[in-house]
Amino acid sequence: MKLKTMSVTDLNAYIKRSLDNDFILNNLTVLGELSNFKAHSSGHLYFSLKDENAKINAVMFRSDAERLKMVPKDGMKVVVRGRVSVYAKEGSYQLYAQSMEEVGLGEIYQEFERNKARLMKEGLFDEDIKRPLPPYPEKIAVVTSPTGAAIRDIMNVASRRNPGVSLVIYPTLVQGEEARKSLVNALERLRSRKDIDLVILARGGGAMEDLAAFNDLDLAYAIRKSPVPVITGIGHEVDFTIADFVADRRLATPSQAAEVAIPALEEMQRALRARTQHLQGLYTGKIRVLQAQLQGRAELLAKNSPKMMLAQSFRQVEESREKLDQILQRRIEKSRSELLGAWNLLQAHSPLKILDKGYALVYGESGELLRSVTQLDQAKILTIRLRDGQRTVEVRRTDEKENRISGTDE
């Protein structure tokens, strides 16, 4: 894959971002000899740090230089704390010093570096083992001096942000050799409590030797063994201790630690209102969906209810009956028409029709139609049918050639 050609500006900016995002390079403590020292009229200090084999340029800005408790000179062995970054315009990297101590504190410095290297190798600084802070702690343990400025700052922040959060003070020494054991014991006592949500390990500012107790190995292990997250607010923004590296979250000062640990009541109330409105919107939408589903099911049930099905069956039966009546009526009409046609045809060919022309039908005693004079000569009772009725007559013979017929009405 071919990379895009970079400009010099882009290259220097990329290198600067890389160095600025490096954890080690942003939390350095460097031992060296001062050379090329120059105090500028602006208040900034420019110098180099060197040892037997190498040299690095450094600068200390006025805001940090004003806090120095020493007068730097060429040839002086010092411990400088700061970060490495790139001066992008010149394309050169340098050490940006934040504090400086004489090498007379070398033993403290060596302990710091030795413990730092050991714990880093053991993985106690790894970000993936850092525990998230509880968003809404109810009870916070504060491990610090009961008479120092740190506890007052934390209590002021707590009363301002959220008086409902309880602070449990674990008084301890924070300076000197006895402070090491005192700090560890306080954290060990906390492990037996089940009602603590978070621990603040705090101390006000001081020189490097004043903060030495927070570089103790046993304290580092006690922080990692804590069943709840531990945050630190030790010294000033430029002060770093082993406890800061091991803690789940490092804040620059005790006040900042309290600001992060204690949720603001107003913010919680706003968040609660926002979530309440969100939930109300969700429930309202859900209710509308359920109502629509219920309405649809009610309509479906109404369409398929036994009452509706029975009414539909009655309607179908009625429609079938009407259709059957129509079919029967058509068949009756057709049969009537056919019967009438047959009747008319029968009437047209009926032998009785000839009676309308003046003819008559003569029946014998047995009701047979007489067709011959011979049959008439032998008959004694005759039935004569004319157009408008019939009569029964008796035949009387006076002689062989003359017969007398007398009739009776039927």
Complete DSSP assignment for 150-198: HHHHHHHHHHHH-TTSEEEEEE---SSHHHHHHHHHHHHHHTT-SS--E
Residue 14: both structure tokens together: 């990329």
Looking at mean pLDDT, say which of 64-73, 197-206, 349-358 comes out highest: 197-206
Give the percent of the chain with pLDDT over 90. 37
Residue 270: both structure tokens together: 């706003």
Kindly indicate the confidence band of residue 268, based on its pLDDT and cuts at 50, 70 and 90: confident
> Above 60 in pLDDT, residue 142?
yes
Number of helical (H) and strand (E) elements in the chain, helices listed first:
11, 14
Quick one: pLDDT at residue 144?
A: 95
Q: Quick one: average pLDDT of 142-154?
A: 93
Kindly indicate the confidence band of residue 248, based on its pLDDT and cuts at 50, 70 and 90: very high
Quick one: pLDDT at residue 409?
A: 54
> Above 70 in pLDDT, residue 400?
no
Residue 105: both structure tokens together: 């504190």
Quick one: pLDDT at residue 129?
A: 93
Does residue 167 sit in helix, strand or coil?
strand
Distances in Å between the Cα of 297 and the Cα atoms of 231, 293, 305, 306 are: 57, 6, 11, 15
Does residue 371 sit in helix, strand or coil?
coil
CA–CA dist 277, 275 (Å, integer): 5
Q: Quick one: average pLDDT of 345-358?
A: 72
Give the angle 44-50-56 at the CA atoms, nearest 5°: 55
Kindly indicate the confidence band of residue 3, based on its pLDDT and cuts at 50, 70 and 90: low
> Above 80 in pLDDT, residue 120?
yes
Quick one: pLDDT at residue 222?
A: 95
Secondary structure element (H or E) that encloses residue 150, with its range: helix 149-161
Quick one: pLDDT at residue 262?
A: 92
pLDDT: is 408 or 198 the higher one?
198
Quick one: pLDDT at residue 105?
A: 53
Inter-residue contact 167 to 138 (CB < 8 Å) = no
**Averaged confidence pLDDT in the chain:** 86
pLDDT tens-digit series, residues 167-197: 999 999 998 889 999 999 999 999 999 999 9
Quick one: pLDDT at residue 47?
A: 94
Kindly indicate the confidence band of residue 1, based on its pLDDT and cuts at 50, 70 and 90: low
Which of 20-34, 52-66, 355-369 is the least confident region? 355-369
pLDDT tens-digit series, residues 83-117: 998 887 888 889 999 998 877 555 677 788 889 99
> Above 80 in pLDDT, residue 80?
yes
pLDDT tens-digit series, residues 220-233: 999 999 999 999 99
Looking at mean pLDDT, say which of 194-203, 206-215, 355-364, 382-391 comes out highest: 194-203
